[in-house]
Amino acid sequence: MTFSRIAPVALAMGVLLTADSASNAASTDPLGHRLTLSLFEYSGSQGESKVYFSRFKGILKDKLEVLVEELPASGKRFDYLRALALEPQGESGLRDGLTTEASVQDYWSRSHSLLLFRGVLSADNSGPYFAQSRVYMGDLRGGFAQPSISVRLPISVDEYPTTSDTHSLMVYYTLAQDAIRLGDDPANILDLLSRAQDKVRDLRHRSQLPPPIEQLSKALESAIADQRTRVAK
């Protein structure tokens, strides 16, 4: 995503807005897990296209609500995931006053978010809308080369499974990296990584993986190997 230069006063105002928004965004957890997915308003989501942004947000929210049920029956090991939340509530997104990579990192840290969703809403030649998203993982990127990943998420009934599985892959992967950060039981971490691996298989079964998702898949495989080594010790 390209950021333009802005005046110092505007930058200061943007930082102030960012800090205020971040203070309200975090879904708190007594053990320190990151459980908030922060969704910003996408460029191009005005007028008629705003309906598609609302649909996109609905896809993300619906998937979060069933995430825990996808994990193995495990007592209360993953009960904390029931606090996963998409912010803000309602149909809109957060105002995007983030103008530099440093401000994105700062928001991610201050808001204690798991992921930040930012991007552009668009359509190809009057075709279905899609969300070209830059999803920020911050320090939870693990073996992925960059702190953010660029993905194209379709907003259509026919391609709902692709958008849903791509979203789930990123959530499971970063939840696992967050559990690694907190020193969680390797068996729990492996369960999260295994679910992410299932999503990769589902995506690959439908079509060839886009390069960024292929790279994330490789980082995922590396994380699984590391955790299996820890379990074996």
Computed over every residue of the chain, the mean pLDDT equals 86
Give domain status of residue 17, yes or no: yes
Give domain status of residue 33, yes or no: yes
40/24 Cα distance (integer angstroms)? 14
Residue 66, pLDDT score: 85
Handedness of CA 67, 71, 75, 79 (dihedral sign): negative
pLDDT reading at 126 higher than 80: no
124, 193, 229 from 225: Cα distances, Å: 40, 10, 6
91-107 confidence digits (pLDDT tens)? 899 999 999 999 999 99
Give domain status of residue 150, yes or no: yes
Give domain status of residue 75, yes or no: yes
Q: What is the pTM of this model?
A: 0.86
Is-contact 151 212, C-beta < 8 A? yes
Handedness of CA 142, 145, 150, 153 (dihedral sign): negative
Which of the four pLDDT bands, split at 50, 70 and 90, describes residue 50?
Answer: confident
Which range scores top for mean pLDDT: 23-27, 92-96, 185-189, 216-220? 216-220
More confident residue, 71 or 2: 71
Q: How many domains does the chain have?
A: 1
Give domain status of residue 2, yes or no: no
